[in-house]
Structure 1
């Protein structure tokens, strides 16, 4: 077995002060989730440390190389990775080259600014830990996973998936958000000189309008586009409970979404007195059976939500009722953090198990 080494990474600066305060704890949980799924459980002694007055997250692990470094480079809070050599005042930081998965310029993620936007670092974290929970997490490196955000807002999840080179689709009920994302992505692709084709049109069936579809086929480079190596991004303007009208069953590997936080984005189902429910539970009761049919066996779902309006146990019960296996190991209980006075956010991740093999195959 390789001798243990000590590593540390500089945390990515955040313009959001509240999120920056939570970043070390979130990074620790994300790192431990990565350790137990793709790093062989080798990460030990994760701790916040100060080096030269600057905060880092340090950990012990066998010597890292190859794909291990590619995973680590894409932790949502990693800014730079180092190996620590020596001890005490003689500690030296040796930079470790860790290749990023990013296929495009960072402004694809950062340029959109609007009220209610989910922090892009958290979006990346949620996508990462959901991918790590599926049966084929190593396909995150190869670009082989297909992502659905069934409550996609203005497309932050779609952009992060695109950044990784993954095919992505979203469903959004609000027409203004649909149009804002279409306008943003068309302009970004044109200004970035990314080879692409983009179409928008109504989706009809039996002379009935189901919704609108914005569909983009793009290439990481002109050469790849010409060779047919495409990334596909789709947004549907429709209710999420109608998602099955637009996509075939078992076509996504990951479902990643930020559930409604309260009245402004609440469920349509009325609560007491006929008012919209603040809890995402009524919406999820309707939508989860639809979403589950769209997920491939072995796929994973990750949902973030406001703990002030729903308990973790409620979401876990809903997922279990649809046959999901909820991740309950220690890392997956380390993501709770404050967003503002009214929102404390957490996430829950679950896997859709594969059906058991027929008896003849087992024998």
Structure 2
């Protein structure tokens, strides 16, 4: 059977880097089940030349479309075909690694994801993993022109990854400073890249009362595309996530992806009665928000949530998602340690 090796992308975060091979194995299993033409088998880990690899077999050689799909794994740096006789020790003696031409979906400069540095930023590799797994659980292709919503978007890591894939990105966050920081960042980034765009921040009113502020951005990779209306959209609202329906229409989004507040570390507004105060439990907020978010999903769409398991278990979150009419997807184990107060996991559910 054809055998392949994925070279793991170096991670600036040491802790996440240590988890990357195991998380890549789980992510690869999802790609195999929901994206590739043939099932992947014998997924394992090894080190070649002192570097971490994930290895696997396929019943038939990978085609160009399969390689292109695997190019989007969140922690893949390079993909090789393995040729020759067996493995001995850690040196792959007798094996040749044949590089395969990767074709990721990314259509923008990687600094869109890496420039921003701030306390509490979600690792961009994990953000990409969460988006990948969520889209693959939906009825929509990873390479489609999708509409993505992050209802607790912070400073926009999820939005930026969606833009990298060519998707339209929509976000909402209660923290005005985070929304302001993202607004300044995306405007500056578009100017520095000299991409044709429009950007405006407008007040949102209901019955003459100011209920929030909204950033609206449209951009294209070229002036001709912009003139032809072939643009990507970014829209971010400063408001409480429980009020998402006031700003977005039902069945507006193909996927919803969010990294829930990590409890003690960050807290979360909107979790207590009346939406006041600071909730220390991410599931307290999620239980109130999921019915609202589910209304915004198109049929066949999927909702992906990551959260700190110290704030609630898988069974509790699964019950919350099911009670909103969503079907929880069976996934491999993605739980991993972040720090002494955070053990992160993810869950994905599809809207029938």
TM > 0.5 fold call? yes
Structure 2, unaligned runs of 5 or more: 88-92
1:277 to partner: Cα distance: 3.3
1:327 to partner: Cα distance: 0.9
Tell me the equivalent position of 2:170: 169
Tell me the equivalent position of 1:102: 106
Q: Is the 8 A contact 1:24 1:48 kept in 2?
A: yes
Counterparts of 1:250 and 1:24, CA distance in 2: 36
- The DSSP-based 3-state class of the residue aligned with 2:347 is strand
Structure 1 residue corresponding to 2:116, chosen from 98, 112, 118: 112
Is 1:222 matched with 2:223? yes
Structure 1, unaligned runs of 5 or more: 354-363
Counterparts of 2:271 and 2:81, CA distance in 1: 53
1:289 to partner: Cα distance: 1.1
1:275 to partner: Cα distance: 7.5
Runs (4 or more) in structure 1 with deviation over 4 Å come to none
1:52 to partner: Cα distance: 2.4
Is 1:128 matched with 2:126? no
Is 1:19 matched with 2:16? yes
Matches within 5 A, 1:1-363: 4-61=1-58, 62-87=60-85, 88=87, 89-136=93-140, 138=141, 140-142=142-144, 144-263=145-264, 264-270=266-272, 276-328=278-330, 332-353=331-352
Counterparts of 1:13 and 1:200, CA distance in 2: 37
Q: TM-score, normalised by structure 2?
A: 0.94
Q: Is the 8 A contact 1:25 1:334 kept in 2?
A: no
Aligned length: 342
1:270 to partner: Cα distance: 4.6
Q: Deviations over 1:96-125 (max 9, x none)?
A: 001011111100000000000000000000
1:41 to partner: Cα distance: 4.9
1:234 to partner: Cα distance: 0.5
Moved more, 106-115 or 277-286: 277-286
State the Cα RMSD in Å.
1.4
Q: Is the 8 A contact 1:26 1:335 kept in 2?
A: yes
- The DSSP-based 3-state class of the residue aligned with 1:165 is coil
Counterparts of 1:41 and 1:163, CA distance in 2: 27
Q: Is the 8 A contact 2:267 2:279 kept in 1?
A: no
Moved more, 116-125 or 58-67: 58-67
